[in-house]
């Protein structure tokens, strides 16, 4: 309850302009004295101030019959809110009519009021009804000059639809064009359909949308003539009055574009950061310059990727990454690690003057890290947050304005490549206008580009004055608003934002995670096999069935840049991850990256698929050939087979000996001539030369590369199998 109500509870004496409710009617207090209180009944067209006993009103107030209204609709509109000059002039003129009446001490006396009204009627030549109309407005709306306002703001039925019958709406035309037709419900339906389907969805201009609306009208059965079709002004009127600016912009350009580029801004990014390290923003972009190989400048490498990590409070760039790997969790963590490492060696490498920059701060973990809904989104980002106690915030898709600070700094850094810079990437459509392809003019190497970008970052960190920076209330006015100065001031006056960390533990924590299978052959991850002495001691790789010591799968940490080693997280254990080395079985992929391995394995699979198809075709042909041979042999046997079963079985041993003798003659090898030596064999075997009959099988001659024209010592041949 307001102080005014409390005052009336303590001393229930009404004051001028109070609004009360009594006997289900609303009254305004016009004047109060000890004997009488003059009340004017509201919501009537013929009321006048009536005196009531003050004691009676006080009693009714205590008993609850009279209620003081704190919220009511009988307020005068301030004149300053009325934009029309005509309204202000008429309000002044209306007050001048009743001024002598309301300023009189006896204006509430009916006879004296009647005499004053008669004087004004004769002097101004106006009616008594008009004077009373102004007086009732004066008493109703608070007995002030604004109470007799003309209330033009209520005129015109704003927002309400006009009802037309025969008279056509809109201004008369004098340019020969047709007058506006009366807009019917069917026309409004067609207008809404055209606006929604063409002006909003397809981004047609209003003129083109109007033509679609005319097509709707002419295709309808009720169409008679063009005179009955509303004009484009009528379509524009409906668009402006039935669709708000926010709704129309959101529908025409899409909610994502509207929220990013058009919505009303109610604050700044700095408000969300209490001090240095409260929030880091991380993002990546493609550099606008093509670079060449440092060993062979004729080899163009393309445009590298640039990552930036920036402190939201001070706008200090604390880390970066320049390379050719696409934006991913690994490259994002590399840029984060660069923000946590000492970078003073870059100052010496690129000969940066100590007067410009003596140090590069930012070697602690932030409280929160903001990035796109890409690199740090998902399980890897969640594990990083759990390991480091750092809050990971992912922006919505397409909402780059959620991390506008780092987005804007990309443009600032790449301003160094403005103009006719060698190797600068061509804009879309530049080739048609005769511009030279930037890939053909590239001259910078990777080291050259890194030196330019590092120098630009250092210059911005230490010398750039942020003229539009929204300062904290306790920042000194004489402090230069450079990022390094704001950072140092925040370190001294804002605390509790940074976190300490173990560098080795952090390096493992930022590694992406995956799921690997375990078998007796080792840890298999992405087609490669790994092993470890520690895991071998646990019995994971013992080759027995139902090995209870071996889990079916484990979680692993891996470096996408190198496959030589992974880290296995032992299930149900608090031990640190166990390092596992690649096995010799996967030695073909040693020192590769996982991206290279995936490509090589994919290529190998594609090759195997092609040759597997050839193998299957050859197997099919072999099976057909085998079947044909088997059928031919079967027919031949039926033609010659006249022996009994017992006789056939008895001759098997004899037949085998005969076949063995024939085979012995065909596999005798021929040796080069050697000097005559004494052997344990008899003289009857010396000087023996094999004949052509003993090597009659040409297949064996070719297999053993035999030469029948040479003499051989057959001392080792002719060994009897018996």
Q: Does residue 281 share a domain with residue 197?
A: no
- Average pLDDT, stretch 533-541? 90
Burial bucket for residue 492 (CB in 10 Å: 0-12, 13-18, 19+): exposed
**8 Å CB contact between 563 and 589:** yes
Task: Kindly give the pairing relationship between strand 50-53 and strand 305-311.
Answer: unpaired
Among 68, 87, 114, residue at a domain's last position: 68
Query: Is the pLDDT assigned to residue 691 strictly greater than 50?
Result: no
Is 415 part of a structural domain of the chain? yes
Domain that holds residue 32: 3-68
Res. 44 pLDDT band, cuts 50 70 90: confident
Is 633 part of a structural domain of the chain? no
Q: Does residue 454 share a domain with residue 323?
A: yes
Burial bucket for residue 418 (CB in 10 Å: 0-12, 13-18, 19+): exposed
Q: Does residue 423 share a domain with residue 275?
A: yes
Written as six digits, the tokens of 568 are 């296995």
Q: Does residue 233 share a domain with residue 274?
A: no
Alpha-carbon torsion 97, 100, 103, 105, what sign?
Answer: negative
Is 642 part of a structural domain of the chain? no
Q: Does residue 406 share a domain with residue 289?
A: yes
Q: What is the pLDDT of residues 391-428, one digit of tens each?
A: 888 887 777 777 878 888 888 888 777 766 777 777 66
| Residue in 613, 412, 380 with CA at minimum distance from that of residue 512 | 380
Res. 566 pLDDT band, cuts 50 70 90: very high
The tally of domains found in the chain comes to 6
Q: How far apart are CA 614 and CA 617, in angstroms?
A: 5
Q: What is the DSSP letter of 510?
A: T
Q: Does residue 210 share a domain with residue 237?
A: yes
Written as six digits, the tokens of 395 are 């922006």
Average pLDDT value for the chain = 80
Written as six digits, the tokens of 369 are 């890290």
| Residue in 553, 239, 504, 256 with CA at minimum distance from that of residue 398 | 256
CA Rg value for the chain: 49
Query: Please, where are the H alpha helices in 286-388?
Result: 329-340, 344-349, 379-388
Q: Does residue 482 share a domain with residue 378?
A: yes
Alpha-carbon torsion 409, 411, 417, 423, what sign?
Answer: positive
- Please work out, in degrees rounded to the nearest 5, the angle formed at the alpha carbon of residue 183 by the alpha carbons of 223 and 186: 55
Q: What is the pLDDT of residues 649-681, one digit of tens each?
A: 888 888 888 888 888 877 766 666 655 545 444
Query: Is the pLDDT assigned to residue 293 strictly greater than 50?
Result: yes
* CATH code of the domain in which 469 resides: 3.30.420.10
Q: Does residue 458 share a domain with residue 327?
A: yes
- The phi and psi torsions of 76 (rounded to 5 degrees) equal -80, 140
**8 Å CB contact between 48 and 110:** yes
Q: What is the pLDDT of residues 454-506, one digit of tens each?
A: 888 888 888 888 888 888 888 888 899 999 889 889 888 886 567 777 777 77
Q: How far apart are CA 325 and CA 590, in angstroms?
A: 20
- Average pLDDT, stretch 599-606? 90
Is 204 part of a structural domain of the chain? yes
634: number of Cβ within 10 Å = 10
Per-residue confidence (pLDDT) for residue 616, from 0 to 100: 92
Res. 200 pLDDT band, cuts 50 70 90: very high
| Residue in 230, 199, 198 with CA at minimum distance from that of residue 214 | 230
Query: Is the pLDDT assigned to residue 703 strictly greater than 70?
Result: no
Task: Kindly give the pairing relationship between strand 25-32 and strand 36-41.
Answer: antiparallel
Q: Which strands sit side by side in the sheet containing 66-68, from one edge to the other?
A: 50-53, 36-41, 25-32, 19-22, 66-68
| Residue in 96, 128, 134 with CA at minimum distance from that of residue 115 | 128
Is 285 part of a structural domain of the chain? yes
The kind and range of the H/E element at 226 are: none
Is 180 part of a structural domain of the chain? no
Alpha-carbon torsion 201, 204, 205, 211, what sign?
Answer: negative
Q: Alpha carbon 329 to chain centroid distance?
A: 15
**8 Å CB contact between 259 and 404:** no
Q: How far apart are CA 119 and CA 113, in angstroms?
A: 10
Per-residue confidence (pLDDT) for residue 420, from 0 to 100: 67
Q: Does residue 396 share a domain with residue 303?
A: yes
Query: Is the pLDDT assigned to residue 81 strictly greater than 70?
Result: no
Q: How far apart are CA 51 and CA 41, in angstroms?
A: 11
Among 563, 592, 621, residue at a domain's last position: 592
Q: Which long-range contacts (CB under 8 A, 24 or more apart) does 188-194 make?
A: 188/238, 190/216, 190/217, 190/220, 191/230, 191/234, 191/235, 191/238, 192/238, 192/242, 194/235
Q: Does residue 457 share a domain with residue 421?
A: yes
Q: Which long-range contacts (CB under 8 A, 24 or more apart) does 16-19 make?
A: 16/143, 17/142, 17/143, 18/68, 19/68, 19/69, 19/72, 19/74
Q: Does residue 488 share a domain with residue 367?
A: yes
Is 343 part of a structural domain of the chain? yes
Is 37 part of a structural domain of the chain? yes
Among 244, 262, 280, residue at a domain's last position: 262
Q: Which strands sit side by side in the sheet containing 391-394, from one edge to the other?
A: 317-323, 305-311, 280-286, 368-371, 391-394
135-144, 255-264, 592-601: the lowest-pLDDT one: 255-264
Q: How far apart are CA 396 and CA 418, in angstroms?
A: 31
Q: Does residue 344 share a domain with residue 301?
A: yes
């Amino acid at each position: 309850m307001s102080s005014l109500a409390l005052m009336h509870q303590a001393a229930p004496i009404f004051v001028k302009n109070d609004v009360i409710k009594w006997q289900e009617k609303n009254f305004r207090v016009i004047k109060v004295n000890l004997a009488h209180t003059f009340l004017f009944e509201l919501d009537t067209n013929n009321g006048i101030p009536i005196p009531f006993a003050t004691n009676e009103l006080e009693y009714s107030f205590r008993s609850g019959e009279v209620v003081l209204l704190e919220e009511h609709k009988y307020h005068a509109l301030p004149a300053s809110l009325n934009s029309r000059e005509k309204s202000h002039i008429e309000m002044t003129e209306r007050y001048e009519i009743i001024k002598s009446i309301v300023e009189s001490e006896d204006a509430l006396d009916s006879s004296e009021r009647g005499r004053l009204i008669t004087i004004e009627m004769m002097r101004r030549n106006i009616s008594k009804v008009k004077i009373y109309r102004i007086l009732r407005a004066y008493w109703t709306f608070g007995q002030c000059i604004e109470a007799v306002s003309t209330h033009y703001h209520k005129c015109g039925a704003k927002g309400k639809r006009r009802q037309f019958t025969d008279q056509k709406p809109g201004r008369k035309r004098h340019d020969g064009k047709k007058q506006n037709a009366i807009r019917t419900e069917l026309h409004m339906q067609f207008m809404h359909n055209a606006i929604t389907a063409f002006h909003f969805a397809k981004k047609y201009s209003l003129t083109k949308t109007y033509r679609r609306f005319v097509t709707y009208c002419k295709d309808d059965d009720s169409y008679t003539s063009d005179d009955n079709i509303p004009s484009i002004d009528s379509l524009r009127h409906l668009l402006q009055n039935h669709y708000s600016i926010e709704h129309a912009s959101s529908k025409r350009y899409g909610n994502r574009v509207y929220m990013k580029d058009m919505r009303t801004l109610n604050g700044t990014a700095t408000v969300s950061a209490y001090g240095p390290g409260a929030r880091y923003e991380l993002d990546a972009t493609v550099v606008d310059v093509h670079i060449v190989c440092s060993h062979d400048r004729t080899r163009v490498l393309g445009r590298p990727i640039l990552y930036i990590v920036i402190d939201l409070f001070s706008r200090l760039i604390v880390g970066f990454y320049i390379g050719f790997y696409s934006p991913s969790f690994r490259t994002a963590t590399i840029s984060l690690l660069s923000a946590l490492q000492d970078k003073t060696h870059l100052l010496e490498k690129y000969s940066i003057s100590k007067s410009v920059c003596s140090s590069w701060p930012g070697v602690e973990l932030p409280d929160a890290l903001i990035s796109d809904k890409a690199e740090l989104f998902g399980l890897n980002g969640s594990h990083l947050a759990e390991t480091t106690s750092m809050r990971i915030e992912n922006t919505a898709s397409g909402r780059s304005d959620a991390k506008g600070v780092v987005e804007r700094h990309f443009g600032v850094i790449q301003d160094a490549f403005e103009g006719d810079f060698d190797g600068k990437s061509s804009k879309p459509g530049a080739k048609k206008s005769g511009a030279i392809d930037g890939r053909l003019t590239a001259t910078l190497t990777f080291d050259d580009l890194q030196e330019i970008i590092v120098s630009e970052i250092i210059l911005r960190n230490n010398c750039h004055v942020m003229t539009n920076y929204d300062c904290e209330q306790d920042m000194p006015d004489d402090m230069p608003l450079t990022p390094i100065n704001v950072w140092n001031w925040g370190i001294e006056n804002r605390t509790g934002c940074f976190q300490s960390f173990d560098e080795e533990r952090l390096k493992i924590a930022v590694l992406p995670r995956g799921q690997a299978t375990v078998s007796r052959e080792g840890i298999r991850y992405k087609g490669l096999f790994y092993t470890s002495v520690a895991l071998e001691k646990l019995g994971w790789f013992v080759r027995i069935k139902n090995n209870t010591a071996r889990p079916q799968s484990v979680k692993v940490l891996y470096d996408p840049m190198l496959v030589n080693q992974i880290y296995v997280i032992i299930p149900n254990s608090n031990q640190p991850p166990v390092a596992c080395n690649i096995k010799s079985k996967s030695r073909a992929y040693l020192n590769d990256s996982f991206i290279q391995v995936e490509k090589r394995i994919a290529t190998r699979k594609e090759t195997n698929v092609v040759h597997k198809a050839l193998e299957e075709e050859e197997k099919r042909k072999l099976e057909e050939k085998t079947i044909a041979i088997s059928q031919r042999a079967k027919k031949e046997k039926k033609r010659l087979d006249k022996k009994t079963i017992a006789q056939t079985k008895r001759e098997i041993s004899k037949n085998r000996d005969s076949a063995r003798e024939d085979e012995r003659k065909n596999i005798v090898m021929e040796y080069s001539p050697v000097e005559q030596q004494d052997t344990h064999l008899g003289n009857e075997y010396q000087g023996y030369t094999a004949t052509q009959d003993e090597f009659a099988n040409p297949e064996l001659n070719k297999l053993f590369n035999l030469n029948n024209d040479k003499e051989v010592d057959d001392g080792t041949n002719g060994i009897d199998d018996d």
